[in-house]
Structure 1
Amino acid sequence: MEKNKNIPTFKTPKNYFETFEERLFVKMAEENFPKSTGFKIPKQYFENFDARILKEISSSEKPKKVIPLFPRKYFGYAAAIAASLVIGFTLFNTKNNTSTLDSLQLAAIDTYIEEGNLNLDLYDVTSYIENEDIANIDLDAKYFTDSSLKEYLFEIIDTETLIDE
């Protein structure tokens, strides 16, 4: 038994591997592939092919209905909702009840008048003051200290005007 151990028992015929590929493809073609192509082209199909294509294209040139991605009516709805939200926030946001005149700073009003944007003379100002307002003025009350009044006058009025008067 030991002598026959390394002797191969399988043998191949002569030229088996040289012609294997050719025989395999022939066998596959005979078994799996159909004998005919299965497609038939009508007679003179390619002679009038261009004319038929142009005829179909010209007949199908009807305008197609385009459906927009975002219809316009939705933009109107969105605008109405946004407007109602803005109005709602402004009406119901009553945390700041200060009027616009109260919120103005006195310095801003003073600057506005000094720049000459308010063209009122003494007669215009007195026309707005009523007799009751003049009677209610307390002349004895001191709204400013003497030192602050002097400082204000020296800052505003130039020295030449003080010397002339």
Structure 2
Amino acid sequence: MDKNNLHNIKKTGFKTPKDYFANLDDVILSEIKLKETIKNPGFNVPKGYFEALEKRIITNVSEQESSKVISLFNKRTVIYVSSIAAAILLLFNLSIFNKDAGWNKLDTETVENYIIAEDYGSYEIASLLSEEDLKEEDFIDYNFDNENIENYLLNNLDIGDLVNE
């Protein structure tokens, strides 16, 4: 609330129940009469109860047998689980799921770049090929159109290759 507006408050905000002060005397007197008439509350504590309480608690606690504790992570279980995890990890890390790369899957450009980088000569390349690889039938079966030859020459040859020096 604002400190400047405290002097303007006319209501306190607290209300008493209807006929509260008219019946207050009767309520107080009835409580006093009730306490005078009831001298015995109805609950009794045996004699010496609180003096012997501590000894009884200690004897009850010490008489309980200690239970056998079974560890969840014993050595045998840990070794068993870790060996299974290692086997699964090894299975996924091996290259058994990778398909072998064959000669058919090699890209022509990759092979050309490898040959250029390793500086192989024509005699070394010829020594790798067998007579079966160089059959005349493999070269004759191709049908070369003039348009395909022109496209190949335009895309793969430089002008310097065509001009004799």
Relative contact order, CA 8 A, sep 6+: which one is greater?
A: 1
TM tier, smaller: 0.3 to 0.5
Q: TM-score, structure 1 length as denominator?
A: 0.46
